[in-house]
Each structure stands twice: as C-alpha cells, then as structure tokens.
Amino acid sequence: MIAEAIFTGTEMLLGQIVNTNAAYLGRQLAAAGINLYRQVVVGDNLERIREAINNARRRADLIIVGGGLGPTEDDLSREALAAALNLPLVEDAAARENVTRYFAARRRPMPPGNLKQALLPAGARALDNPYGTAAGIFLEHEEKIYALLPGPPREFEPMVVDRLLPLLESYGARREVIFSRVLKIAGMGESAVEEVLKDLLHGDNPTLAPLAKPGEVTLRLTARAGNPEQARELIMPLEAAIRERLGDYIFGSDADTLEGVTGTILAGRHLTLAVAESCTGGLLAHRVTNVPGSSDYFLGGMVTYSNEAKIKLLGVAEEILAAHGAVSPEVAAAMARGVRRAFAADIGVGITGIAGPGGSTPAKPVGLVYIGLDIQGKVEVQRELFVGERENIKWQSAQTALYLLWRGLRSNPYN
C-alpha cells in the first residue's frame, strides 16, 4: 500500500508553525508497513488542496489529508475532497454528534459556523474525535482510500493510532513491517555513547541511530521483516549488546520517561518523595506530577527562590548560606534534608544553581548546579556545569536530578 500525505495550512508555508504531524504520521505508517512516498504542504486554498488530492490519487492508494476540518472559512479540506471526487457534501449523524457533544459537555451554545463539521462527502464515514469538534473523514472511492484528519496534534495523533490504523489493517496494510525500538540514556553525552557503540552504528538491518536531546540520548533500533515477531528477533541481539555496554545509563525504552520509571519504583516500594527547587523553579515537581497516579508517592515540593524561604521553610541554616552561598553543595544537601523533613517523606531532592542569564559570578558561572539527594537519611550531592539558555539549563537540571534519583533507587536496597 502506497500512501501520500497532504497537510493544509498557510501558517506552515509561512513557517509560523512546524509541521510535527508529518513526522508523527511517518513513524506510524512505517510501523504499520505502509510506504509513504510523498508529503505535500499547501495553503488554505480550495483549488490548491483539490489539485493536491487529484495529483495524489494518481500515484497513491491511500491519501491522507491533515488539517482543514475546523469550523472557519479557511478550513477547506472537506470541500476540496468533495470537489476533487465530484461528490456532494451531506450531513452525517455521527459527525454531527461529534460536534454537538463537544459544546454540550462544555455547556456552551454551538456557534452556527460549526454546523459544517457535520458534513461529509457522500459515502464517507466519520472517525470519532473525542478531543475536538471535528470528526475525521474516511472514504473508499474508486479503489482509493481517503482519510481526512483534524490538524491540532492532540486530535491528529490519537486519530491516526486509534481510528485510522485499525481501519487500514483490515485492508491488509501490514505486509512488510518496520519495527523500531528506542533505548533511552541519561548521565552520558552523545559523543561518549557513540564512541562506546562505534562498531554497531553501521548495520543495515537492524539499523542503529543515536539522537541527542537535552539531558538525554536516544538510540533507535530499526528492523524490517515480514512480521513483527521476525523484526523483534532481528533487534534482540543488538539490544543485548548495547545493554551490556551501557548498563545503568539506559533508564528505559520506547515511551518511558525518567519521571515515569522513577515513579514506578517509588510506587512499587511504597516510598514517598518531596522536592525543594531553586533554579529549576518548579519544573521537577511539574514533571514528577505529570505521571498519572503520582499523588500516591509524591507528597509535595517547595520552590524557594529567596534565602529567607530556604531558611524559614526548609530549615537551611543561616550560617551555611553565609559561609558557602546559596549555590553550593552544602545548601543542596540542606535543601534535600529540609524538604524531606518538612513533608515527612522517605526521599528528599534539593536543587540549587544558576539558570541565568543573570546571577552569575566568576566563581559561580551560569549553568553551575548542585543536586542533593537524601534517601532515607543518606545524603549525596552532585555538581554539574550545564551549557545552554535558561530553560535548557532548567531542563537539564531536572533531568539529572531524576536520573540520580532513579539510579539511587536502583542501586540501593532500601526499604
């Protein structure tokens, strides 16, 4: 099955937003064994969308259109498909239900403009969209398949996975599969990872591709085979070799996050956590609480920007602050201890550092960060010197704190 994807939106042509749907769709189609040969971006223009659909159906079996299903006059994908195939637009009960239900749940009246979201080209079926007003559109017509999906990623992504791919499977899409597995690494930089894995980087099937993100390196292992089982078997020995070399630097795989794997250990061991943050400003607590169910182990956090707050709320001794300054290993340790005590938690984390751009001195440059970890009274501090902008330094600090916490939990037979 050969696919072509069309994305609509003048804001993408003007470079005002990046088309992340394209990459997401590419990954999902590849995993389903569907060959995506072309992506096209056109503006919110009926004639150009229609032309793109007409060109695509000459080359491909499956034509996917992302965007242009909204209620405004700039949203023209349903009209363009109807025009390209010479089909009338007719009201569909399920599509109508999708849009009316959205406003009913919010107890708001439906603006009249939204009514057009109930219209589908004759013969099409609605794809349910629980996250927005626009149902997707699925149409089989003259041996081609057309799928129109809403543009916002939080609606587009679940519709690809939950609605479109299951439907395509029934059309026999899965003949050759591409299977990918991602290993996630923290505590080690990209060049160090590549050095260790140098001889493994040039394989053909499976392939191994490293990708660096702030505070994290991911390794993508990809195999092609006749079915998912065979592909997994191709990947297994490569994964084993990587795990042997990188050991505890690999904190997870695929959709794992550091906050998620850490939370799983905390929940499993019935340990509780509290965090004290200075330079990360709440980011660590935010990430910990992004995990559903984190209220089972996360007792709370404090963001103590001022010295007064560190003294009053965390019990950091004034003498320590005076002798070593707020950005020091001593204060990181005292913050970890203090927040553990304040919340009566098993584990406390304290972060103090200079996120910049201001606040640095020759002895304490932007990026200098100390992370304290108090696991049931055993306290350790790590010093880091991160490079980057303010938000990047915040991110790397929170990432490293989570990694130290995860490694500390793994290596210690507490509880």
**Contact positions with its own copies (CB under 8 A) in 302-321:** 302-306, 308-309, 312-313
Structure tokens of 53? Answer: 């659909």
294 binds its own copies (CB under 8 A): yes
12 binds its own copies (CB under 8 A): yes
Least distance CB 279 / its own copies (angstroms): 8
Binding piece for its own copies, criterion CB under 8 A, among 120-128, 137-145, 340-348, 370-378: 340-348
Q: Which is nearer to its own copies, 122 or 387 (CB)?
A: 387
Q: Of residues 229, 268, 387, 414, which one binds its own copies by CB under 8 A? A: 387
Q: Of residues 100, 180, 360, 376, which one binds its own copies by CB under 8 A? A: 180
* DSSP secondary structure code for residue 412 in this structure: -
Give the chain's length.
415
**Contact positions with its own copies (CB under 8 A) in 343-382:** 343-344, 355-359
User: What is the C-alpha separation between 228 and 219, in angstroms, rounded?
Assistant: 19
105 binds its own copies (CB under 8 A): yes
Q: Which is nearer to its own copies, 139 or 342 (CB)?
A: 342
Sign of the torsion angle spanned by Cα atoms 24, 54, 124, 10: positive
Least distance CB 28 / its own copies (angstroms): 7
212 binds its own copies (CB under 8 A): yes
Q: Which is nearer to its own copies, 121 or 298 (CB)?
A: 298
24 binds its own copies (CB under 8 A): yes
User: What is the C-alpha separation between 335 and 352, in angstroms, rounded?
Assistant: 8
> Across the strands, what pairs with 337?
none
Burial class of residue 187 (count of CB atoms within 10 Å of its CB; 0-12, 13-18, 19+): buried
**Contact positions with its own copies (CB under 8 A) in 215-234:** 220, 222
Query: 222: helix, coil or strand?
Result: strand
Nearest to 66 by CA among 77, 53, 52, 79: 77
37 binds its own copies (CB under 8 A): yes
> How many CB atoms neighbour CB 54 within 10 A?
14
Secondary structure (DSSP) of 66-118: ES--SSSTT--HHHHHHHHHT--EEE-HHHHHHHHHHHHHTT-PPPGGGGGGG
Binding piece for its own copies, criterion CB under 8 A, among 29-37, 161-169, 369-377, 402-410: 29-37
Least distance CB 182 / its own copies (angstroms): 8
Least distance CB 413 / its own copies (angstroms): 27
Burial class of residue 297 (count of CB atoms within 10 Å of its CB; 0-12, 13-18, 19+): buried
Nearest to 113 by CA among 103, 123, 104: 103
x/- map, 253-282, its own copies, by CB under 8 A: ----------------------x-x--xxx
**Contact positions with its own copies (CB under 8 A) in 39-78:** 39-43, 48, 52, 55, 71-74
